[in-house]
Structure formats: C-alpha cells, structure tokens
C-alpha cells in the first residue's frame, strides 16, 4: 500500500508491472476502490505498467470535506500520473472514472494517448437526481441506497451469487463525504462539447443491463470522438469488469493491440 501526498489530498495507489512497460491507468467508479479491477488484472497482457488508485473520499485515500468538483478529480489524477512518470498512457475509466478520463484527455494529451470510456457518459443523470441522492446519503447513510445501487451495478445472474455481498460491503464502507463529494462532481459535469473536441483513439464499453449508464448513453458519448469504437457486453450491468472479466480483458487487449499500445 502506498500513499501519494498531493497537497490537499492523499491518494492511495498501486503500481504493478515493470518500469519500462506500456503505461495503463485505471480509474474506478463511484462507491468502489481500486480493487474493482482485480478480476481482470491476471487476464491482461504481461509487461504492462499499471497504475490504479482510490480517488479522493474513497478506499484508503483521504476524504476532504464535500463537495468536490470534476476539475479537482482530474487534477488529482494528473498529479499522480506526473509523480510516477505515467505519460502517453492508455487511460481506462469506468463511470466517474470515465468522466475523469474525458476531462484529463482534453487537458493533458501528453499524458493520455488513448481512452477507454467504460459505462460512462459525457453527462450522467441530472442535478435534481444527484441532489436527491446526496441528501439521502447525508441523512440516512450509503446503506439506505445500497440495494438500489446493486440493481444498477449488476445483472440478475450476478445478483443471485454470494459475491454480491462483497460489492455491497465495498459500497457501504465508503466515506459518506467521499460518496457525496464525488456525486456532486458528477452532477456538475457536462462534457459534451469538450469531449467532441478530442482526437485520439477511443473505445466505449457498455453493459447490456447497466442501470446507471445505459448502452445508448455510452455509445452517444464515444460517438462524439471521430473514429471511436464501441463494444457491448451482454448480461452485464454497470461493472462488467466484475461480471464478465474474461470478455472485458479481451476487449481491452484487442484495443491495446489495435492502437499499437502493445
């Protein structure tokens, strides 16, 4: 376990792979920590240099007072990548992580050579929806929303397995301020115009049963970027890297090869 002091926040991160490996950065979803990517790690090509981290208010990172801005989350990621020499990286972002990917690619094309926008959108939901969710969490805790979140995160097959409890536990053990703070960041973000300015290799990944960012939203977002690709994973919800890790890893590996990253 390692902690990076970035000034106003300290981020827990993990780096795997050789120093000279092709750089890949993973940014996870609201309510999860860097373990979100554990199921696909053994399935990726050998020799990659992989950076994973807990965004502010999540996992083992520090939790500044809410609310947060998307700009702050992008800057956190930018500083962490610079600190460890991650340049010209393939950036894989899921949900809010995909929003961070869009914002970072617009700001720092020297850091990001290609993006995977997984289960995300240029805009997700609306201010009223997020306002209600933030109020509910602050009043009644994350547990009050957990069952509804599980329905959006996972398809019925996965929800019938004992593993569901692992992910529900991960969700409810996040900091209330961290969840509320990142929810506010999503609420205030509309990247339609900025993402449409991007010119880099891009891949969208959607889950057919995603109740948070449906396939049409993911497709609409990646279609903003000329030449982008789109893949849909059947019988998967908002976290297909958990439900269908083999298929998810195959899609990522093909994109790495198609773009010359490996």
| pLDDT at residue 47, rounded to an integer | 97
Mean local confidence (pLDDT), 4-25: 98
pTM for this entry = 0.98
| pLDDT at residue 87, rounded to an integer | 97
How many angstroms separate the CA atoms of 155 and 219, rounded? 19
CA distances (Å), 102 to each of 61, 127, 143, 194, in order? 22, 20, 30, 8
Mean pLDDT of the chain: 98
Straight-line distance from the first to the last Cα atom of the chain, in angstroms, rounded to the nearest whole number = 27
**Is 149 strand, coil or helix?**
helix
| pLDDT at residue 179, rounded to an integer | 98
Q: What is the pLDDT of residues 115-152, one digit of tens each?
A: 999 999 999 999 999 999 999 999 999 999 999 999 99
**Is 16 strand, coil or helix?**
strand
Q: What is the pLDDT of residues 168-209, one digit of tens each?
A: 999 999 999 999 999 999 999 999 999 999 999 999 999 999
């Amino acid at each position: 376990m390692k902690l990076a002091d970035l000034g106003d926040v300290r981020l827990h991160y993990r780096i795997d792979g050789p120093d000279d490996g092709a750089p890949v950065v993973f940014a996870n979803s609201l309510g999860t920590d860097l373990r979100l990517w554990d199921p696909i790690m053994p399935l990726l090509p050998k020799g990659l240099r992989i950076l994973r981290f807990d965004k502010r208010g999540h996992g083992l990172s520090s939790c500044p007072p809410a609310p947060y801005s998307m700009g702050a989350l992008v800057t956190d990621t930018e500083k962490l990548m610079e600190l460890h020499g991650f340049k010209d990286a393939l950036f894989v972002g899921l949900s809010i992580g995909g929003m961070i990917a869009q914002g970072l690619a617009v700001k720092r094309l020297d850091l990001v050579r290609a993006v995977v926008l997984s289960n995300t959108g240029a805009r997700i939901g609306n201010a009223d929806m997020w306002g209600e969710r933030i109020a509910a969490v602050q009043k009644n805790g994350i547990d009050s929303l957990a069952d509804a979140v599980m329905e959006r995160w996972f398809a019925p097959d996965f929800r019938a397995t004992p593993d569901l409890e692992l992910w529900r536990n991960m969700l409810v053990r996040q900091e209330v301020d961290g969840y509320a703070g990142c929810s506010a960041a999503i609420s205030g973000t509309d990247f339609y115009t900025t993402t449409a300015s991007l010119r880099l290799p891009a891949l969208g990944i959607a889950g057919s049963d995603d109740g948070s960012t449906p396939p049409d939203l993911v497709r609409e977002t990646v279609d903003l970027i000329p030449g982008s690709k789109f893949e849909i994973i059947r019988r998967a919800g908002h976290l297909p890297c958990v439900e269908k890790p083999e298929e998810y890893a195959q899609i990522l590996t093909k994109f790495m090869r198609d773009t010359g990253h490996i």
